[in-house]
């Protein structure tokens, strides 16, 4: 706030792409071809963003602005491959996923929460798909957080742990640091089987009075293979200010057209 008063959080840019574009690009790299945006009132700009901006593109074409036109390419989706459902009330992440149940059907599916952006050589979700192809079941991207921050995340009770792949013995949503079973937290990347849907359908309220995905997933432990995966890469929690600012720096430093100047101006701040 106040930026997200009238602009959806998913449309805030990191460098020059909105957060939603990072999520879709990551999913595409993982081989995903069908998308469902769970949105809410006031978020229609997300749908417009993935439409053809006919006038804009005609003007850019007439003026031979080829680099601007090229920058629009990732905003194109195959006709019919993206749908949107509205979550009419903010009843929690579990409820948001339940709203997409017709889209999900009986297939395994991935969830990407666009406020988590991951910088990595291979997209985080692609790494997870590789794990899923070996393990099946549920795969969650996980990372260690400082213990005092466990109350911001879903946290794992850890079984067998080979350093990369972790057996999920339990899951707790936003535990207080003193109650947290570990400091290994879930980031906004999930591959789940559709078996989660009947648990979500009960719409039971959990932490914060919301329908929590974590609670529904916890009910699947012991019934499907269930793993946490320490992905390679760096996650930026763009839902908080520091994470968002850090993402701007990190992503601009990997851009050839910007890195040099960004490095130079950062030096002038370090000197102060
Ligand atoms: C959600 C999930 C939480 C997860 C987090 C990752 O929380 O409920 O389990 O760790 O995303 O970003 P939220 O950020 O919506 O509070």
pLDDT at 166: 97
DSSP-derived pairing of the beta strands 154-161 and 165-173 = antiparallel
pLDDT at 105: 97
Indicate whether residue 243 lines ligand 1 (CB < 6 A). Answer: no
Confidence grade of residue 272 (pLDDT, cut at 50, 70, 90)? low
Q: Can you tell me the distance from the alpha carbon of 244 to that of 249, in angstroms, rounded to the nearest whole number?
A: 9
Q: Can you tell me the distance from the alpha carbon of 217 to that of 100, in angstroms, rounded to the nearest whole number?
A: 16
92-128 pLDDT, tens digit each: 999 999 999 999 999 999 999 999 999 999 999 999 9
Indicate whether residue 192 lines ligand 1 (CB < 6 A). Answer: no
Residue 250 is assigned to a structural domain of this protein: no
Contact criterion met (CB below 8 Å) for 83 and 36: yes
Residue 130 is assigned to a structural domain of this protein: yes
Question: How confident is the prediction for the chain on average, in pLDDT?
Answer: 96
Q: Which residue has the tokens 């849907």?
A: 197
Domain total of the chain: 1
Which ligand 1 atom lies nearest to the CA of residue 92?
A: 15
Instruction: Name the residue range of residue 65's domain.
Output: 3-239
- Helices 241-253 and 259-270 sit at what angle, rounded to 10 degrees? 130
Residue 253 is assigned to a structural domain of this protein: no
φ, ψ for residue 190 (rounded to 5)?
-135, 140
CATH number of the domain that residue 118 is part of: 3.90.550.10
Residue 266 is assigned to a structural domain of this protein: no
Q: Which residue has the tokens 């993206």?
A: 82
What does the block give as tokens for 157? Answer: 């009770």
Whose alpha carbon is nearest atom 7 of ligand 1? 153
Confidence grade of residue 270 (pLDDT, cut at 50, 70, 90)? confident
Residue 100 is assigned to a structural domain of this protein: yes
Indicate whether residue 173 lines ligand 1 (CB < 6 A). Answer: yes
Residue 194 is assigned to a structural domain of this protein: yes
* Whole-structure pTM value: 0.95
Residue 19 is assigned to a structural domain of this protein: yes
49-59 pLDDT, tens digit each: 999 999 999 99
DSSP-derived pairing of the beta strands 165-173 and 226-229 = antiparallel
> What are the residues facing 140 on neighbouring strands?
190, 228
pLDDT at 217: 98
- Would the pLDDT of 158 be above 90? yes
pLDDT at 271: 63
How much of the chain, in percent, has pLDDT values that exceed 90? 97
203-213 pLDDT, tens digit each: 999 999 999 99
Q: Percentage helix, strand, coil, to 5, in the chain?
A: 40, 25, 35
């Amino acid at each position: 706030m106040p930026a997200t008063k009238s602009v959806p959080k998913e449309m805030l840019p990191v460098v020059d792409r909105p957060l939603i574009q990072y999520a879709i690009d990551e999913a595409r790299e993982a081989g995903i071809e069908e998308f469902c945006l769970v949105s809410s009132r006031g978020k229609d700009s997300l749908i417009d963003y993935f439409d053809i901006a006919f006038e804009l593109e005609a003007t850019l074409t007439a003026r031979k602005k080829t680099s601007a036109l090229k920058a629009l390419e990732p905003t194109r989706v195959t006709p019919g491959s993206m749908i949107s459902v509205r979550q009419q009330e903010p009843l929690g992440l579990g409820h948001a996923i339940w709203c997409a149940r017709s889209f999900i059907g009986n297939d395994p599916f991935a969830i990407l929460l666009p406020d988590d952006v991951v910088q990595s050589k291979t997209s985080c979700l692609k790494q997870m798909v590789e794990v899923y192809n070996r393990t099946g079941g549920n795969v969650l991207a996980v990372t260690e957080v400082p213990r005092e921050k466990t109350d911001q995340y879903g946290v794992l009770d850890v079984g067998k742990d080979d350093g990369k792949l972790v057996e999920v013995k339990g899951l707790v949503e936003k535990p207080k640091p003193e109650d947290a079973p570990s400091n290994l937290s879930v980031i906004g990347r999930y591959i789940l089987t559709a078996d989660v849907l009947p648990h979500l359908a009960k719409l039971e309220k959990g932490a914060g009075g919301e329908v929590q995905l974590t609670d529904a997933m916890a009910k699947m432990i012991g019934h499907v293979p269930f793993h946490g995966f320490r992905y390679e890469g760096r996650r930026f929690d763009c839902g908080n200010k520091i994470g968002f600012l850090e993402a701007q720096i990190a992503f601009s430093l990997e851009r050839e057209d910007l890195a040099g100047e960004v490095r130079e101006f950062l030096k002038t701040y370090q000197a102060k």
